[in-house]
A = this chain, B = another copy of it.
Amino acid sequence: MSISISKLAKLSGVSTRTLRYYDEIGLLTPERISRNGYRVYGQKQIDLLQQIMFYRELGVVLEEIKKIIYADDYEPLSALQKHLTDLQSKKDQIVCLIKTVEQTIAAAKGEIIMTNKEKFSGFKAKLVEDNEKKFGQEIREKYGDGQVDASNAKLMGLSAVQYDHVESLSREINGSLKRAFDQGDPSSELAQKTCALHKEWICYFWSEYSKEAHLGLVQTYVDDPRFRAYYDAVAKGSAGFLYQAMKIYCQE
């Protein structure tokens, strides 16, 4: 039983272009090539294509599929397991994005109201105040007054959009930290991403960034009961977790 490329295409529902492409990358080569140069497929190829389509529907990349169906020593199950975790982390990413976008929309709506009420500047002032209250003392002691003043100045100069970003960032950090903490591994991708987010956030307040200062700051999160309480509100023990993660992050 031999069929042409278009017959196979119709039979399987994929395009002829796709079949030629699979031939090109060695995923599915025809049984033989007839004298006129036409591709000829046999029963075996039909079966193989079926398997290919099966994995493709699962979202496995073609290169993986090739390994799965041709390498004897390749474990289809573990391949699928890996694929599953890939999918899950993709989902986590998207869920994370969704949250952020939702929050951004909410914040933006709120911001419109705020600007309408001309309360925005007051709001920012409050943030500065909080910032000063939160970090001022420690940072002043450790890194000098200049740092703190620069931070406040920078904050006052934030545009509305930037301010929104800061807000959504801090929410994202909390969410991300919680998820990473739940997973339990400070070296995990999510935990390290949390650190990166935190760096981004901190850079809104610092004119100069250094890993030492950053790690130092997070250290105070653990040492100071007020900070610890704030992060424990996200998840109990998450301040310490963040510190562990940050140690790894700052080593890189």
* Interface contact A233-B84, CB-CB below 8 Å: no
Determine which of B51, B84, B172 lies in contact with A101 in the assembled complex, contact meaning CB atoms within 8 Å.
B84
**Chain B residues in 8 Å Cβ range of A174:** 13
* Interface contact A58-B100, CB-CB below 8 Å: yes
- Cβ of A213 < 8 Å from any Cβ of B? no
Complex CA distance for A162 and B77, rounded to whole angstroms: 15
The SS class assigned to the A binding surface is helix
- Cβ of A54 < 8 Å from any Cβ of B? yes
Known contacts A80-B104, A91-B94, A171-B12; A165/B59 CB under 8 A:
no
**Chain B residues in 8 Å Cβ range of A161:** 51, 54
6 A-B pairs whose Cβ atoms sit less than 8 Å apart in the complex: A11-B168, A53-B171, A54-B165, A59-B97, A59-B101, A84-B98
Q: List residues of chain A with CB under 8 Å of any chain B CB.
A: 11-13, 46-47, 50-51, 53-54, 57-59, 76-77, 80-81, 83-84, 87-88, 90-91, 94-95, 97-98, 100-102, 104-105, 108-109, 121-123, 159, 161-162, 164-165, 167-168, 171-172, 174-175, 233
